[in-house]
């Protein structure tokens, strides 16, 4: 089946240049493919700003975006899990129309589509729960209160951990408290290591989740755990900037029992298979279903995270805000419902 549309899309036309444009788009659907009309697409700030500003090299023009809630408008003849009119989450770009990615999951009717757009970043956060092997009563520190860090901290708390969150930005710490994360450390004002060690009587936390993508923060993370027994550091953020350091103290936290016994673990949503397998408990689909269930029960707080809902033609201003005012531009959502 072939389809052609006059579409709208957001484009990084060059380094630090954002445009909103119209273009003809041609789609050819296979038997198992679905075609989508976008409703809401969420900016993945770390990834997209890195591509816009040159921290991550891409070929321009580049169409950003990879997490959206969309309506099914056409489906291949072998599609059985979805039908026309359904709302789905898929890794699709900031565009009015798109073919679904290899991962697509229906959005429950009792979940607000705007909130549902956060499921993609919550999937990243969920891996911190899985690979951190969180157990009831564990003490966990989360460094970085962007969207991923906040959602990860909430999920860790729901899993039974006692969570303390750390950030340099007072506004993001306030948002964390608004989401029920009451134990906060302002790294701009407080000695983080001393605060953590005082609260744990020198033992350190059981698990540290580094969600900022800062190499310096990873150095801090290994010092906060493993002082008495095995500690785990989950590297959830994506480092992009170069960082020069003496690696020996870092390695001593991993290797020497006097200074720590720390295990490093990487985490990302793609760590797990997309769909259920009878031979593996976890999958992206299962994680998404759990996240949607928590959203429908109002157990996962999302309202303080969506700081800006913008029309797609306001994309240049939205990305400028993310670049110049990251403290107030936390969650930016593009609303495509008028671009139908």
- DSSP per residue, 293-337: HHHHTT-S--GGG--EEE-GGGHHHHHHHHHH-TTT---EEEE-T
Q: What is the pLDDT of residue 340?
A: 58
- pLDDT of residue 338 exceeding 90, the answer is no
Q: For tokens 């302002």, what's the residue?
A: 186
Q: Per residue in 83-136, pLDDT tens?
A: 999 999 999 999 999 999 889 999 999 999 999 999 999 999 999 999 999 999
Q: What is the pLDDT of residue 177?
A: 98
Q: What is the pLDDT of residue 3?
A: 87
- pLDDT of residue 58 exceeding 80, the answer is yes
Domain 122-269 sits in CATH at 3.40.50.720
Domain 2-118+306-335 sits in CATH at 3.90.180.10
Q: Kindly state the average pLDDT of the residues 33-44.
A: 96
pLDDT band at residue 178 under the 50/70/90 scheme: very high
Q: What is the pLDDT of residue 277?
A: 86
pLDDT band at residue 257 under the 50/70/90 scheme: low
What tokens were used for 266? 């990487």
What tokens were used for 89? 């989450």
- pLDDT of residue 34 exceeding 80, the answer is yes
Q: What is the pLDDT of residue 339?
A: 65
Percent of the chain residues topping a pLDDT of 70: 99
Q: Which ranges constitute the DSSP H helices of the chain? A: 45-53, 113-116, 119-131, 147-158, 170-178, 192-199, 215-223, 247-255, 284-296, 315-324
Query: What sign does the dihedral 332-59-20-241 (CA atoms) show?
Result: positive
- pLDDT of residue 63 exceeding 90, the answer is yes
Q: Kindly state the average pLDDT of the residues 256-278.
A: 86
Q: If you average pLDDT over every residue of the chain, what do you get?
A: 93
Residue ranges matching CATH 3.40.50.720 in the chain: 122-269
Q: What is the pLDDT of residue 75?
A: 93
Residue ranges matching CATH 3.90.180.10 in the chain: 2-118+306-335
Q: What is the pLDDT of residue 1?
A: 79
Q: What is the pTM of this model?
A: 0.94
Q: Kindly state the average pLDDT of the residues 335-339.
A: 87
Radius of gyration over every alpha carbon of the chain, rounded to an integer in angstroms: 21
Q: Per residue in 215-250, pLDDT tens?
A: 999 999 999 998 777 899 999 988 888 889 999 888
What tokens were used for 174? 């306030």
CA proximity to 142, closest of 162, 120, 118, 123: 162
């Amino acid at each position: 089946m072939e389809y052609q549309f006059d579409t709208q899309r957001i484009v990084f036309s060059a380094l630090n240049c954002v445009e909103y444009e119209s273009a003809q788009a041609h789609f050819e659907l296979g038997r198992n493919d679905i075609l989508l009309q976008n409703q809401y697409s969420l900016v993945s700030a770390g990834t997209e700003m890195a591509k816009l500003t040159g921290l991550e090299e891409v070929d321009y023009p580049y169409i950003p975006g990879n997490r959206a809630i969309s309506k099914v408008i056409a489906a291949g003849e072998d599609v059985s899990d979805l039908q026309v009119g359904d709302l789905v989450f898929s890794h699709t770009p900031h565009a009015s129309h798109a073919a679904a990615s290899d991962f697509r999951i229906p959005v429950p009717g009792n979940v607000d589509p705007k909130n549902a757009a956060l499921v993609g970043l919550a999937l990243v956060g969920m891996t911190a729960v899985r690979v951190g092997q969180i157990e009831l009563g564990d003490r966990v520190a989360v460094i970085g209160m962007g969207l991923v860090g906040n959602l990860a901290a909430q999920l860790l708390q729901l899993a039974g951990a006692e969570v303390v969150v750390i950030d340099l930005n007072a506004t993001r710490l306030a948002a964390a408290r608004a989401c029920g994360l009451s134990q906060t450390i302002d790294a701009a004002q407080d000695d983080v290591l001393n605060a953590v060690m005082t609260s744990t009587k020198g033992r350190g936390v059981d698990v540290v989740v580094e969600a900022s993508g800062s190499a310096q923060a990873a150095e801090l993370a290994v010092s906060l755990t493993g002082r008495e027994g095995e500690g785990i550091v989950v590297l959830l953020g994506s480092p992009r900037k170069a960082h020069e350091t003496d690696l020996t103290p870092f390695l001593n936290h991993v290797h020497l029992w006097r200074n720590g016994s720390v295990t490093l673990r990487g985490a990302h949503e793609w760590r797990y298979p997309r769909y259920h397998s009878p031979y593996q408990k976890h999958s992206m689909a299962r994680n998404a279903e759990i996240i949607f269930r928590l959203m429908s029960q109002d157990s996962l707080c999302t309202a303080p995270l969506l700081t800006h809902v913008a029309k797609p033609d306001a994309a240049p201003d939205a990305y400028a805000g993310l670049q110049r005012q990251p403290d107030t531009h936390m969650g930016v959502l593009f609303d495509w419902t008028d671009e139908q």
